[in-house]
């Protein structure tokens, strides 16, 4: 099973949506079944070949953190009956992603290097180097795009355009900072630095704002190894990190940044194996749990049976 393009046969499906990485099945307009595929995206483009076990890593990492943060922020998760599947409450998503950054890395570093000193309405101080710690974590939201690139947006623009009400946005900011603080603490216990991450929120049928989708996974977050961080910064060396950034850097090196006319470089078997190993490394490093790969002989029907059993239990 490569879990790239397969579609599940689930009773009661009222709608289906295929995202860049996840397939989302709506059951009776109230429950979501979310399959984390082995697809991988970078620069908002789905790359042509699946990464073995990537979906399992994402789903089980998200499950770990959704359970760990549920007392701080309510979330959508009800159960995870299969290594690649989560089932939860259907929520109406806010049309923004709440990105929070504790360090000048990734997109923020590229913007800073290009001479920009304001990101999403937040002023950045002069004299920073790539991967420096920021004076305090900053929230840099993006608009949520169903296709193409997400766009940076300021708090003021979100409120002025009525994308989110002020009352709701204050809650989103509060939850974002609380989740990042807890994620930072959990990462530190595992010898990691949570550099930046993004959160998505939605409202359930009762109007409760909940954390939805994934949280603190390698697709949504960037981590540095804490040991040696200061020394590497002092020497101007690259940080040792656990994130999807190395995939982006490989693409950049090979002439691809998702721009019009650019072609995705050939992804070799060796490259896919390396990416898969890095994803599994992140899971073990950040959760402190051993990664147990899904048995190779399992079929789509096995996944469907687990989902059906879990849905029956929820309806009892």
| DSSP letter string, 92-121 | EE-SEEEEEEEES-HHHHHHHHTT--EETT
Which residues form the domain of 174? 94-243
Give the residue carrying structure tokens 């002023």. Answer: 123
In the chain, count H helices and then E strands. 8, 18
**pLDDT band at 210; cut points 50, 70, 90:** very high
Whether pLDDT at 23 is above 60: yes
* Prediction pTM value: 0.88
Task: State how far the Cα of 129 lies from the Cα of 105, in Å rounded to an integer.
Answer: 9
- When the pLDDT of each residue in the chain is averaged and rounded to a whole number, the result is 93
Number of domains in the chain: 1
Task: State how far the Cα of 128 lies from the Cα of 112, in Å rounded to an integer.
Answer: 9
In a domain, 39, yes or no: no
- Provide the 3-class DSSP secondary structure of residue 270: helix
Residues 6+ apart with CB under 8 A from 173: 98, 139, 155
In a domain, 216, yes or no: yes
Query: Domain with 133 in it: what CATH number?
Result: 3.30.470.20
In a domain, 122, yes or no: yes
Task: Find the mean pLDDT for residues 176-188.
Answer: 97
Cβ neighbours around 183 below 10 Å, total? 25
Question: How do residues 288-302 score in pLDDT, each as one tens digit?
Answer: 999 999 988 899 999
In a domain, 16, yes or no: no
- Provide the 3-class DSSP secondary structure of residue 97: strand
Residue 192 · residue 61 · CB < 8 Å: no
In a domain, 213, yes or no: yes
Question: How do residues 46-75 score in pLDDT, each as one tens digit?
Answer: 899 999 999 999 999 999 999 999 999 999
Q: Rounded to the nearest 10 degrees, how much is the dihedral formed by the CA atoms of 51, 62, 183, 236?
A: 10
Question: How do residues 105-149 score in pLDDT, each as one tens digit?
Answer: 999 999 999 999 999 999 999 999 999 999 999 999 999 765 556
Identify the CA nearest to 40 among candidates 199, 248, 254: 248
Residue 219, pLDDT score: 79
152 - beta bridge partners? 142
In a domain, 295, yes or no: no
Question: How do residues 230-248 score in pLDDT, each as one tens digit?
Answer: 999 999 999 988 777 778 8
In a domain, 281, yes or no: no
Whether pLDDT at 224 is above 60: yes
Residue 161, pLDDT score: 95
Residue 191, pLDDT score: 95
In a domain, 272, yes or no: no
Whether pLDDT at 160 is above 90: yes
Residue 302, pLDDT score: 94
Residue 147, pLDDT score: 55
Task: Find the mean pLDDT for residues 17-22.
Answer: 90
Residue 4, pLDDT score: 85
Whether pLDDT at 199 is above 70: yes
Residue 124 corresponds to which tokens in the numbers above? 């950045």
Task: Find the mean pLDDT for residues 266-273.
Answer: 92
Residue 246, pLDDT score: 79
Q: Give the residue ranges of DSSP H helices in 120-228.
A: 155-160, 166-189
Question: How do residues 4-18 score in pLDDT, each as one tens digit?
Answer: 888 999 989 999 999
């Amino acid at each position: 099973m490569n879990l790239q393009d397969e579609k599940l046969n689930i009773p009661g499906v009222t709608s289906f949506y295929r995202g860049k990485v996840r397939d989302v099945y709506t059951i009776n307009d109230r429950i979501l079944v979310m399959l984390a595929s082995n697809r991988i995206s970078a620069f908002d483009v789905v790359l042509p070949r699946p990464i073995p076990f990537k979906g399992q890593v994402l789903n089980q990492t998200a499950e770990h953190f959704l359970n760990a943060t549920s007392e701080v922020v309510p979330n959508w998760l009800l159960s995870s009956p299969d290594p690649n599947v989560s089932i939860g409450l259907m929520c109406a998503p806010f049309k923004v992603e709440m990105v929070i950054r504790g360090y000048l890395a990734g997109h923020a570093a590229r913007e800073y290097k290009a001479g920009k000193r304001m990101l999403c309405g937040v002023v950045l101080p002069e004299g920073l180097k790539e991967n420096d710690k920021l004076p305090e974590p900053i929230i840099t939201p993006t608009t949520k795009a169903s296709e193409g690139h997400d766009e940076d947006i300021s708090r003021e623009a979100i409120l002025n355009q009525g994308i989110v009400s002020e009352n709701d946005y204050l809650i989103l900011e509060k939850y974002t900072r609380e989740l990042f603080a807890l994620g930072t603490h959990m990462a530190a216990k595992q010898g990691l630095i949570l550099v930046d991450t993004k959160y998505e929120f939605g409202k359930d049928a009762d109007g409760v704002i909940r954390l939805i989708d994934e949280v603190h996974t390698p697709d949504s977050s960037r981590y540095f190894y804490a040991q040696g961080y200061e020394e590497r910064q002092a020497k101007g060396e690259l940080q040792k990190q656990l994130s999807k950034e190395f995939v982006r850097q490989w693409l950049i090196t090979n002439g691809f940044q998702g721009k019009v006319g650019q072609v995705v470089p050939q992804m070799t078997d060796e490259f896919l194996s390396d990416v898969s190993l890095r994803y599994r490394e992140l899971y073990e490093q950040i959760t402190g749990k051993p990664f147990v790969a899904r048995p190779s002989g399992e079929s789509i029907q096995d996944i469907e049976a687990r989902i059906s059993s879990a849905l029956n239990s929820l309806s009892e």
